[in-house]
Every structure is written in C-alpha cells, then in structure tokens.
Amino acid sequence: NAGVMQNPRHLVRRRGQEARLRCSPMKGHSHVYWYRQLPEEGLKFMVYLQKENIIDESGMPKERFSAEFPKEGPSILRIQQVVRGDSAAYFCASSQMDTNTGELFFGEGSRLTVL
Amino acid sequence: KQEVTQIPAALSVPEGENLVLNCSFTDSAIYNLQWFRQDPGKGLTSLLLIQSSQREQTSGRLNASLDKSSGRSTLYIAASQPGDSATYLCAVEGNKLVFGAGTILRVKS
C-alpha cells in the first residue's frame, strides 16, 4: 500500500512562471491537506479538500494560489506567477476520515525554488 | 486562534540519555495531538497519535503524554540513539492540524 505520493520532488521556476504540484493520497483516503514549510519555520496549513470540494481554504493566499481534488486523479496545488517568497517545501497529507478523528499521513514534499 | 509552542527549540545530548520534549497549546478544544519526526529534506513520519480522551501513548522507546486541560504534551525518548537525531514536531487537531515550530534533536555518539 503506497503512501502519499507527491511530485515533482523538486521544482525550479523563474519569477512569473506557474508551478503545479501534485499529490496522490493513500489508497482509500478521500481527504487531502496541503501545508507549506518555509525555511526555518514550522508547517502552515493551506487548504483542506475532499473529492471535488474545498472544505477549508483559510490558509491559502487570496491571489495566485489555487487547489483542486478532482473526482479522478491527484490533488493539484497551483501557484501562478510565482515570486521568490513562494520558495518553500509544500507537503500534502491524506486521511481516511475527517479532521477530528483521522490520523494524517504525509508525503515527502515538493520543494519549490523560485529564481 | 490555536498556537502551538515547542520547547526547547534545539537539544543536543550524548547517546544513551533519556530526554523530554515539550509541547504546549493555547486552545484545549482539540480532537487529538500527534507527534511527528522530520529528517532533513524529508517528509513527516507520524510517531504517536493521542486522542483527546487518552492521556498517553507508547511506541517502543517513545512515550507521549497529553494533559488537555493544561494544554501540554510531552514526548519522552528513552535511551536515545544517534539515529534519533531529527526534528520533532508536535501538532494539535481542532478544525485543522496546527503545528509547532519543532525541536531539533541531535544525539551524539
């Protein structure tokens, strides 16, 4: 049973380009969470999704960032017109149940570098 | 707004020592608390999950306690080994999982 799979593991973009980060949850998990870890900082919640629905996006910047979790395929975190401050590790987690009872399992992360 | 604090920020101990990592949180209305381990450049590995109705969990040399009313948890590591060197993260779950900044542990051989 494969764990949470994230790709790419490393992504380099120039300012103004788009970054797309993908996350395939563990088999049987329908809840996906995205977190961002800035250098020397803890993980910050960004967004919580279930299949085809955004449940909580209170941690998402209002502009340039969007997330989806379609009925088929992985969850996608999309960052448009990237800036240097977007450089961070982006982690995806999945759970089988909703947030108050389900243990979260994390992927290895996608490390974005903006030049 | 939930805030999670971890003390100490960094810890260096000789191999074989028993050690305690501390975590405190401001809002006691949580569903559970998790301790994670993160190795440099890697993802998070879940170590222990304590439901709000529980007071402690044990796994091998690790023991985590939870005092929900006082907003505290401790992670006890017995007989530390160099392989335990990593960043240890505490996270509490209310309507979302909120992380502390972590404790960087170095166990010297």
- Copy the structure tokens of residue A95: 């759970």
Cα–Cα distance measured from residue B72 to residue B4, given in angstroms and rounded to the nearest whole number: 10
What 3-state DSSP class applies to A112? strand
pLDDT band at A104 (very low <50, low <70, confident <90, very high): confident
Which of B13, B38, B52 minimizes the C-alpha distance to B100?
B38
CB–CB contact A59 B98 (8 Å)? no
CB–CB contact A106 B36 (8 Å)? yes
Cα–Cα distance measured from residue B87 to residue B105, given in angstroms and rounded to the nearest whole number: 6
Q: Which residue of A has its CA nearest to B92?
A: A100
pLDDT over 60 at A101, yes or no: no
Nearest CB to A42 within list B41, B94, B100: B100
Q: What is the pLDDT of residues B3-13, one digit of tens each?
A: 999 999 999 99
According to the model, what pLDDT value does residue B99 have?
93
Which chain A residues have a beta carbon less than 8 Å from that of B102? 42
Nearest-Cα distance to chain B for A15, in Å, is 23
Which chain B residues have a beta carbon less than 8 Å from that of A100? 31-32, 93-95
A12 neighbors A110 (Cβ within 8 angstroms): no
List, for chain B, all residue ranges whose pLDDT scores fall below the cut of 70. none
Q: Indicate the average pLDDT of chain A.
A: 91
CB–CB contact A45 B102 (8 Å)? no
Q: What is the pLDDT of residues A23-62, one digit of tens each?
A: 999 988 889 999 999 877 789 999 999 988 999 999 999 9
Task: Report DSSP state, residue B50.
Answer: E
If phi over 0 gives left and psi between -120 and 50 gives alpha, with beta otherwise, what is residue A57?
alpha
Q: What share of chain B is helix, strand, coil (3-state, %, to 5)?
A: 5, 60, 40
- Copy the structure tokens of residue B46: 């879940």
